[in-house]
Amino acid sequence: MADIETARKEFQRIDADGDGFITAAEFKTALAQEGDWNVTESVAEVIIRIRDLNGDKLLSFDEFWAHLSK
């Protein structure tokens, strides 16, 4: 299980525009920065959709944390 403060820092790093939500584009960029160049925006959209609990196509911190704390 992840530490919530570490998770919050990671969330903020991925949330490039600081609006409190991670988009598929931000997620794809973050993965690319970590060296995973194989993730397309379409793949990132699917990953977000799987973790998106309210269906808004965005990942809030609560949704991000819910996935990490499983």
Share of residues in the chain with pLDDT > 70 (%): 97
Mean pLDDT for 13-19 is 97
- Nearest Cα to Cα of residue 24 among 56, 53, 66, 65: 56
CA atoms within a 13 Å half-sphere pointing along the CA-CB vector of 47: 16
Residue 1 reports pLDDT greater than 60: no
Q: Looking only at Cα atoms, what is the longest distance across the chain?
A: 29
What is the extent of the structural domain holding 38? 4-68
Instruction: Provide the CATH number for the domain around residue 20.
Output: 1.10.238.10
Mean pLDDT for 6-20 is 97
Please give the tally of structural domains in the chain.
1
Look up the pTM and report it. 0.91
Quickly state the pLDDT bin for 32 (edges 50, 70, 90). very high
